[in-house]
Amino acid sequence: FPSRWTIYPTISDPSIYPECPATRDTFIGFIIANAIVTVIGVIIGCRPILNRLTCNKLAKKGRTKTILYNWIPSIVMQILANVACGAVIHATPGYEHIRVEDVVMLYLIRPRISLIAMSTAAAFVVLKDEYPWMYSMLSSAVTEVVLQLMAACWVVARGYKTAFGDSGFIAIAVFMLIGLGMTTIVTGIIIFMSRPYDSTGGKLFDMTSWHGIRISNSFGNRLWN
């Protein structure tokens, strides 16, 4: 990203504010944070586990319309977490010029690996004739599209105001829009493939065999049915 989009202090005396961590430490911290969020997301995203944790109040078996709203809490929590980070940065001496809303949108650009883990669990794990991670995966996919759309709009709007005509900005904007388009297409295909059956377990899955091994093809063959 252009230097004007980076988070940096304005105080000239380095003794007043703590030294920034090395790039390696920042990368390791990012990986650890992503791993923790992914593990928690996979655990809570399992329908039977969530149903037990909420004393049978949420994630009831057979409900098929949760995809209409279960992505909203994910977006809200992502934004609130970024707001908290932005508030901490803004309150740090030397960083008062950093706007909280810019931190929120800048952090939305960071890649999230939880969707990959959720998609893997949803596609391959079958428990008692149900894909327990299916709706969580669909929710994560919709969440990712919305977050990428928000980030792409911010990049275009922010770049237009500060770097109009800058080839670097144009490249970033094009990259963001291409990523958003690909994510949207993949999400649409996934939702289309999963539409004909009750992914929470209301219908017995079609089983087939491959070299003598019984496997479920109910997820894959939705594209053609």
Per-residue pLDDT of the chain (225 residues), as tens digits, is 555 567 777 766 656 666 667 778 878 888 888 888 888 888 888 888 888 888 888 777 766 666 667 788 888 988 998 999 889 888 887 788 888 888 888 888 877 778 788 878 877 777 776 778 888 888 888 888 888 888 888 877 776 666 555 566 677 777 778 877 887 787 777 666 655 444 444 343 444 444 554 444 444 444 444
CA dist 178 → 25, 55, 115, 168, 181 (Å): 30, 42, 18, 15, 5
- What is the 3-state composition of the chain as percent helix, strand, coil, each rounded to the nearest 5? 60, 5, 35
Cα–Cα dist 42/120, whole Å: 10
| First-residue to last-residue Cα distance in the chain | 44
Q: Which two tokens stand for residue 196?
A: 């004909």
CA dist 209 → 78, 126, 148 (Å): 41, 15, 39
Domain extents for the chain? 23-224
Rg (CA), the chain: 21
Q: Among positive and negative, which fits the CA dihedral 41, 42, 45, 50? A: negative
Residues 6+ apart with CB under 8 A from 113: 34, 35, 38
pTM: 0.70
